[in-house]
Structure 1
């Protein structure tokens, strides 16, 4: 697997509240993208969640846990997120949208709460998003990312990692054959960049991104 991560602080942000990481081991890949809110402590929460999931997933696999099919990955991620919730909020505050993507045995399993998204990228960089953001602008879960991006209510997230509720992620399954390319991104990427700007960012990831007020973060993965 080949991957690239990039995170750019938004022009209206003092600190980048996004966090992304990836770990690959043979034909297994673990990809995480988290968007901390403006609530106090959210930046630290995002960073701790990313590292916590990586460490816990690795530990479970080393102890013999299996992730060959979607149901096994779902069960494993539910356990990890529930355990981390108790650990993280024992000392941290804040809230965050999160998305965890696992590639294993030719399958992609995505767990998420909030407005981070995952999609399949075509050869030219056009993205077909297959996760539906959890926000007021999409309360029926029936709108496209382009429609949601134009609605100010998209900034009101309806599901997230938060101290007063145990994680309850939505799961989405996709095949992940060799050569498949998928993108994990925060809403700064899919909502504040036009489709043309998104494709340009994927095709030239080192170029300057100056148009977004929000933090822009993505992971570009080719299986």
Structure 2
């Protein structure tokens, strides 16, 4: 599946390093697109984010072709995440990250995620429709829109994330696939830190002249090919 992929990221000022990361991998008819957002408050979180994505892409490349259908592939990726959670806990005892994995197959798509990286689609009118749930304290009832969550400082308290200090609990969701569909995988610096106009500018130019947020701003755009 030959999608068009663009990665835009801009470092914030909260940390000396940009702690957002992305990766992609394709095998047979399955394509993975991944982003991760390392915590700004815990040391080595950017390294953890990148290491988790490396584990997922390498593990994916070692799967057999019989595991490349939707449900077996989702289960295999969950096993890779669980294994990484065990093996990385000693090297990253304090670090934490949010992550979002999008898998595209010929007739379906699914996501695995923990934390506040979000999946959206860019509509023809330029508006973004956010799809995935935000795993944060204000959204514990899953009844708040992304625009409502963005206004709350308590959104930074996550109810799920990838960390040695808590149990890993990925959420899996299946999505329909349409020709020319444009998926967005965004860190909270993008979906919560930018207004709609700045989001459009960032997607068009890949950066902002002056970032209106202290957090790293990142968005991975994946455009499906036409039929």
CA contact (8 A) 1:28 1:103 kept: yes
Q: CA deviation at 1:33?
A: 0.8
Instruction: Give the C-alpha shift of residue 164 in structure 1.
Output: 3.6
Say yes or no: does 1:55 pair with 2:58: yes
Tell me the residue number matched to 2:47. Answer: 44
Aligned to 2:182: 181
Q: 1:113-139 CA deviation, whole Å, 9 max, x = no partner?
A: 100000111124311111010111212
Q: How far has the Cα of 1:27 moved from its partner?
A: 4.2
Secondary structure at the aligned position of 2:220 is classed as: strand
CA RMSD, Structure 1 to Structure 2 (Å) = 1.7
User: 1:1-223 residue pairs with structure 2 within 5 A?
Assistant: 1-25=3-27, 27-37=29-39, 38-60=41-63, 63-69=64-70, 71-93=71-93, 94-206=95-207, 208=209, 210-223=211-224
Tell me the TM-score normalized by structure 2.
Answer: 0.90
Q: Which moved more, 1:85-94 or 1:185-194?
A: 85-94
SS of the residue corresponding to residue 192 of structure 1 reads coil
C-alpha distance in structure 1 between counterparts of 2:181 and 2:27, whole Å:
17
Structure 1 unaligned segments of length 5 or more: list them.
Answer: none
Within 2, Cα distance between the matches of 1:74 and 1:4?
Answer: 24
Contact 2:9 2:206 in 1 (8 A): no
Contact 1:99 1:111 (8 Å CA) reproduced: yes
The 10-residue stretch of structure 1 (153-162 or 10-19) with the greater mean CA deviation from structure 2: 10-19
The answer to whether the Cα contact below 8 Å between 1:5 and 1:21 also exists between their aligned partners in 2 is: no
Whole-angstrom distance in 1 between the partners of 2:207 and 2:43: 31
CA deviation string 1:160-212 (max 9, x = no partner): 01114442211121112221111000100000000221122223325545222
Compared with structure 1, are the counterparts of its residues 13 and 91 closer, same or farther at alpha carbon in structure 2 (3 Å cutoff)? closer
Tell me, yes or no, if the aligned pair for 1:125 and 1:202 is still in contact at 8 Å.
Answer: no
Contact 2:198 2:208 in 1 (8 A): no
In structure 1, distance between residues paired with 2:133 and 2:147:
12
Judged with a 3 Å threshold, the aligned counterparts in structure 2 of structure 1 residues 132 and 53 are, in CA distance, closer, same or farther, namely same
User: Does the 8 A contact of 2:31 with 2:104 survive in 1?
Assistant: yes
Equivalent pairs counted in the alignment come to 220
C-alpha distance after superposition, 1:133-160 (max 9, x if no partner): 0111212111011000001101111110
